[in-house]
């Protein structure tokens, strides 16, 4: 767990892997409280428990799934206290437990759970209050799993491991395209990748940007990743071609998303320029590429070369001016001082000013 006791996505990911390994070894807790904002891990753990605690023939008698909006805590407690039929365990799964009526009354059971029952409480969207008897009793008598959503820069490492468990590799550009298109929603990313891997020829060992573009519907040439690269290289022609494509497909390329990515891009350039200045000022070497990639919150050090080029093209005196441009065009995109220009025209104006600054 991170310093100060606050969970991170990395903590959730490590706990998830540990719990999956325990379930596959049939080391079960009598109660699981799966809670948090990131639903993917909660759903996968619930499915894994549903598949592994009981044999297939036992599930019809001894496995019950209830939904929070259709039940109350008393009914769940009664289910948990039943003895299993023709088997060693009962499994009670409470999905959408955040909607369960009188949920706190579950603590009347979780303070002394039966060894013959496995209760799985799926509480999505937020955590159960850690001061409550429900949380404390499950923590003491069973297993609490807290699912924290990732930040964009944390997706890369997770993606690499996710595809490796499926016997393939994912190149760096393909990873960036996926995150740009699907954001930090790891459930969507996992679903799209699973569909993609199913469609690829047998024996495919590496997923490339070409695979992503052909099978997931992302333009390999016209996307925010290529736009920031064109700006890094001060390639006006390519930047304008991408802007023209965005103007013709505004729903797929909203200006608000592009502006956000441009801000992040130049923020990284600012940090790299500062590190260069600091190294000169203190007569010390630059941090390692791995450390610089961490500072810039890059998915992999692979992209550091682009930022090294960009930092040479945009000293921080220019970066400060670009931050001002981004603020102005953000306001214009929201209807303030933008005149009659549409989003496509605003983007072209902005890119021209950035490259010629």
Mean pLDDT is lowest, of 13-22, 84-93, 116-125, 232-241, for 84-93
**350 located within any domain:** yes
CA distance 178 to 191: 12
CB 268 within 8 A of CB 307: yes
Same domain, 62 and 187: no
Same domain, 210 and 228: no
pLDDT at 277: 95
Share of the chain above pLDDT 90, in %: 62
Condensed to tens digits (0 to 9), the pLDDT of residues 29-88 reads 999 999 999 999 999 999 999 999 999 889 988 999 999 999 999 999 999 999 888 768
The average pLDDT across 271-278 equals 96
Q: What is the CATH number of the domain that holds 72?
A: 3.40.50.300
Confidence band for 298, pLDDT divided at 50, 70 and 90: confident
pLDDT at 193: 85
Mean pLDDT over the full length of the chain: 90
**154 located within any domain:** no
Same domain, 116 and 132: yes
CB 163 within 8 A of CB 175: no
Domain that holds residue 80: 3-149
pLDDT at 272: 96
Residue 91 vs residues 54, 142, 219: alpha-carbon distances, Å: 8, 14, 46
Residue 219 vs residues 92, 188, 251, 349: alpha-carbon distances, Å: 45, 18, 14, 23
**341 located within any domain:** yes
Confidence band for 5, pLDDT divided at 50, 70 and 90: low
CA distance 293 to 4: 25
Confidence band for 159, pLDDT divided at 50, 70 and 90: confident
Same domain, 236 and 208: no
CA distance 187 to 51: 19
Same domain, 142 and 192: no
Q: How far is Cα of residue 78 from the mean position of the Cα atoms in its chain?
A: 37
Same domain, 11 and 140: yes
Same domain, 188 and 78: no
Q: What is the pTM of this model?
A: 0.71
pLDDT at 14: 94
Q: What is the CATH number of the domain that holds 242?
A: 1.20.272.10
Same domain, 246 and 318: yes
Q: How far is Cα of residue 34 from the mean position of the Cα atoms in its chain?
A: 17
Same domain, 211 and 234: no
Q: What is the CATH number of the domain that holds 185?
A: 1.10.8
Confidence band for 3, pLDDT divided at 50, 70 and 90: very low
pLDDT at 341: 80
First to last CA, the chain: 45
Written as one string, the DSSP assignment of 246-276 is HHH-TTTS-HHHHHHHHHHHHHHHHHHHHHH
Condensed to tens digits (0 to 9), the pLDDT of residues 85-143 reads 876 899 999 999 999 999 999 999 999 999 999 999 999 999 999 999 999 999 999 99
**With the CA atoms of 247, 195, 166 and 224 taken in that order, what torsion angle do they form, in degrees rounded to the nearest 10?**
0
**294 located within any domain:** yes
Domain count, the chain: 3
Look at residue 219 and tell me whether its pLDDT is greater than 80: no
Condensed to tens digits (0 to 9), the pLDDT of residues 302-356 reads 789 999 999 999 999 999 999 999 999 999 988 887 667 889 999 999 999 999 9
Same domain, 86 and 119: yes
**156 located within any domain:** no
Token pair 């206290």 in the structure block, residue: 81
Which residue has better confidence, 19 or 216? 19
Residue 269 vs residues 45, 244, 342: alpha-carbon distances, Å: 40, 25, 28
pLDDT at 87: 67
At 278, list the tokens. Answer: 């600091």
Same domain, 277 and 342: yes
Look at residue 200 and tell me whether its pLDDT is greater than 90: no
**155 located within any domain:** no
Same domain, 110 and 180: no
Bridge-based pairing of strands 63-67 and 143-147 is unpaired
Which residue has better confidence, 181 or 285? 285
């Amino acid at each position: 767990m991170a310093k100060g006791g606050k969970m991170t996505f990395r903590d959730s990911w490590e706990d998830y892997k540990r719990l999956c390994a325990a379930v596959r070894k049939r080391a079960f807790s009598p109660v699981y409280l799966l809670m948090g904002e990131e639903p993917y891990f909660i759903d996968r753990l619930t499915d894994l428990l549903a598949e592994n605690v009981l044999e297939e023939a036992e599930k019809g008698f001894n496995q019950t799934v209830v939904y929070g909006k259709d039940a109350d805590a008393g009914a769940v407690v009664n289910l948990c206290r039943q003895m299993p039929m023709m088997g060693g365990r009962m499994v009670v799964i409470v999905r959408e437990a955040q909607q369960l009526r009188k949920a706190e009354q579950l603590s009347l059971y979780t303070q002394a759970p039966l060894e013959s029952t496995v209760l799985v409480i799926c509480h999505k969207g937020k955590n159960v209050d850690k001061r409550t008897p429900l949380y404390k009793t499950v923590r003491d008598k069973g297993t609490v799993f807290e699912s924290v959503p990732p930040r964009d820069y944390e997706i890369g490492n997770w993606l690499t491991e996710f595809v490796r468990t499926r016997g393939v590799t994912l190149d760096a550009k393909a990873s960036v395209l996926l995150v740009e298109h699907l954001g930090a929603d790891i459930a969507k990313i996992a679903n799209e990748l699973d569909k993609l891997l199913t469609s690829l020829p047998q024996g495919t060992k590496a997923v490339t940007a070409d695979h992503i573009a052909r099978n997931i519907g992302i333009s390999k040439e016209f996307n925010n990743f290529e736009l920031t690269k064109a700006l890094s290289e001060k390639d006006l022609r390519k930047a304008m071609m991408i802007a023209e494509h965005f103007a013709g497909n505004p729903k797929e390329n909203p200006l608000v998303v592009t502006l956000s990515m441009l801000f992040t891009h130049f923020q990284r350039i600012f940090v790299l320029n500062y590190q260069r200045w600091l190294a000169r000022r203190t007569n010390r070497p630059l941090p390692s590429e791995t450390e610089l990639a961490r500072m810039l919150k890059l998915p992999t050090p692979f992209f550091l070369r682009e930022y090294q080029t960009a930092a040479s093209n945009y000293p921080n005196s220019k970066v400060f001016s670009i931050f001002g441009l981004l603020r102005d065009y953000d306001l214009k995109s929201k209807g303030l001082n933008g005149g009659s220009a549409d989003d496509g025209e605003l983007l072209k104006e902005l890119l021209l000013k950035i490259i010629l600054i």
